[in-house]
Each structure stands twice: as structure tokens, then as C-alpha cells.
Amino acid sequence: MNFNIRLKQLRQKNNLTQSELADILGLKPTAISNYESERNEPSFDKLIALSKYFDVSCDYLLGVTDSYLPIGGEVLDKDIVEFFDLYQQLTPESTADIRDYIKYLLYKQEHSK
């Protein structure tokens, strides 16, 4: 996945407009639009600022790795990364449904023993 797609997913997941994210980073309002449309790329400083703001690695933002974050120095399992990528595309209402369903599955699993 490319930087522009990952940036847009993270921005939307955090319910930010392009202008709001630009303000947070001290950029012009069009900067984020230019990043997301691949007309421009961030400087190293801005890439690091984005990674810190969204709490992800620069490698993740750049598409070097599909691991959102290393866990204890280990790379996340591919299935977890795939699930996370799909999860990021959901609306807040759908993510709440997923959490409820997972709780149901855990309850069912615990009581079937």
C-alpha cells in the first residue's frame, strides 16, 4: 500500500479533515491534499511528525512494512495486518459492531467448554 493511501486511511480513522491535519502539522491547507493525491511528498521532518501523531512507524507510512506497529520487537502476523487494514476502512458504527461480535464470540467460546 502506498503512502498516500495509508495517510488518507489514518486521517479518516482519526476523523480529521485535510485542513485540520495540515493545521496540526503546521502546513498549508493544501499540503495534505497534495500528499494524498501524490502531487507532493512530505519532508523527513513532516514524515516523522505524521508518524508520531498517528503513532505508527515511518516504515508503515511509507509502505516498507505492513506492520502497523512492532509488538515487542516482533512483526505482526499477516492475518492481523490484513484484519487491521480492513478494520481501518470501517465506519465508527461498524467498528463498534465488530467489537460487539468479538465479545459475543469470546463469550460463546468460553461457554462451550
pLDDT per position as a tens digit, 16-57? 999 999 999 999 989 999 999 999 999 999 999 999 998 888
Query: Which tens digits make up the pLDDT trace of 2-21?
Result: 899 999 989 998 899 999 99
Q: Give how far Cα 73 sits from Cα of 9, 25, 96, Å.
A: 24, 28, 29
- Pairwise CA distance, residues 111 & 113, whole Å: 5
Question: Domain 3-111 adopts which CATH fold?
Answer: 434 Repressor (Amino-terminal Domain) (1.10.260)
User: How many CA atoms within 13 Å lie on the side-chain side of 50?
Assistant: 30
